[in-house]
Structure 1
């Protein structure tokens, strides 16, 4: 069964190749979408090539609804976006995928049923299909090469849906089993290096020593050190001291 997660329906109108349907299903499921409708697939349905290409998203194809016409596929929808790169002489709002999915999420939260319609690979949606949409979804592509294949357009739209409805962590660090070093641990590291470098005569000439120590401490503070990093740097200094004391 499809998940009960509120989401738009993706409608593939007259898709020509089973491989593209499968790739679209995979793109949808990558971002948590599993409501697919297919209108008059050229090579019939089910299509084994679609299953092979779906790479783990075969459930979407098994549960996909198949319709004869676009009107039937959209009969229960309250707001429809038509994904097309070309203007067809129809007066409609034109929005980016980001705006469409942000608006779509709001409409779904208010109880609406939202659909995004994607056209066949070769020619895209026809005017009759677009006329049934409330707005046009237009990807800001290179105007000299605006053609996107079905899976690419599906992926872009599904990604924007995920961004609009999930908390996305913009940046993170994998600590690999360690933890961030505390202020005290970094302070002890700084003291260790100042002490050993002082004995080695590093802070010379003397009138510059204080500034050099401040710069060194500033270096430690700029580095995002983990406890493992601090332990390693202590070990580096200890080993260098041992090497010096052995006279090697």
Structure 2
């Protein structure tokens, strides 16, 4: 099996619906898994429904179709079988997370790795599971354990990259406001509140100021947010004259 050396191949064994093949290709593309092998698809190949459901995933365009499982795995050295049913076989059984860790170690050691998924009707046949080195199963509710084929693919695909953390573009902003900028904002805001008669009675002023500052600090304001807020305070005070702010106790 020709394989990207850095990732496992995903093998769909006798899938029935083109929609599930396309959805599997789509989610594999989402998580950077380029190699899809389809074994003896029920509705033939190519499949228009698979194309539509793939949403343009390049994985589907590069998918390989075989009609014998042996041809799909002929040079695989470590094979994983996904199943929701106990098979009574003496094989290691792993969760998706454990299996992905095992796959990465095997690939690092130079092995060719593949994961098999069974068809929608009854999953992988025993003869296919028997060929696997490892069984992967998920901690699903045993009273309703059957996953949709594409969903099962999605779970393993997600686990492949789950340890990498959130994408860089989603990292927290780095321009957190300095304390001196926050202090100026507090003073500006509190001055205008004082002018508006907000601090009443005067004996409660220290507690009210403390509450306001604590609320602002918990927000982890950025420099831009501080500038925007001070601009808003300034805008509210322009032309206000002696307008009275009614405070709810």
- Where does the alignment leave 5 or more consecutive residues of structure 2 unmatched? 245-249
Q: Normalising by the residue count of structure 2, what TM-score does the alignment of the two structures yield?
A: 0.85
Contact 1:37 1:73 in 2 (8 A): yes
**Match in the other structure for 2:247:** none
Q: State which drifts further: 125-134 or 214-223.
A: 214-223
Q: Normalising by the residue count of structure 1, what TM-score does the alignment of the two structures yield?
A: 0.86
Quickly say closer, same or farther: Cα 1:224–1:173, change in 2 above 3 A. farther
> Structure 1: how far apart are the matches of 2:3 and 2:125?
31
> Structure 2: how far apart are the matches of 1:233 and 1:73?
62
Please list the CA deviations of residues 185-212 of structure 1 after superposition, one character each: whole Å capped at 9, or x if unmatched.
Answer: 2110111123233344444444443343
> Structure 2: how far apart are the matches of 1:225 and 1:145?
46
Contact 2:5 2:107 in 1 (8 A): no
> Structure 1: how far apart are the matches of 2:202 and 2:242?
28
> Structure 1: how far apart are the matches of 2:113 and 2:130?
16
Q: State which drifts further: 180-189 or 199-208.
A: 199-208
Q: CA deviation at 1:124?
A: 0.5
In structure 2, the residue corresponding to 1:194 is in which secondary structure?
A: helix
**Match in the other structure for 2:121:** 122
> Structure 1: how far apart are the matches of 2:78 and 2:166?
26
Contact 1:3 1:34 in 2 (8 A): no
Quickly say closer, same or farther: Cα 1:43–1:142, change in 2 above 3 A. same
Q: CA deviation at 1:169?
A: 5.1
**Match in the other structure for 2:241:** 245
Contact 2:82 2:135 in 1 (8 A): yes
> Structure 2: how far apart are the matches of 1:95 and 1:48?
35
Please list the CA deviations of residues 224-248 of structure 1 after superposition, one character each: whole Å capped at 9, or x if unmatched.
Answer: 2233432333234334433441558
In structure 2, the residue corresponding to 1:140 is in which secondary structure?
A: coil
- Where does the alignment leave 5 or more consecutive residues of structure 1 unmatched? none
Aligned residues, how many? Answer: 243
In structure 1, the residue corresponding to 2:27 is in which secondary structure?
A: helix
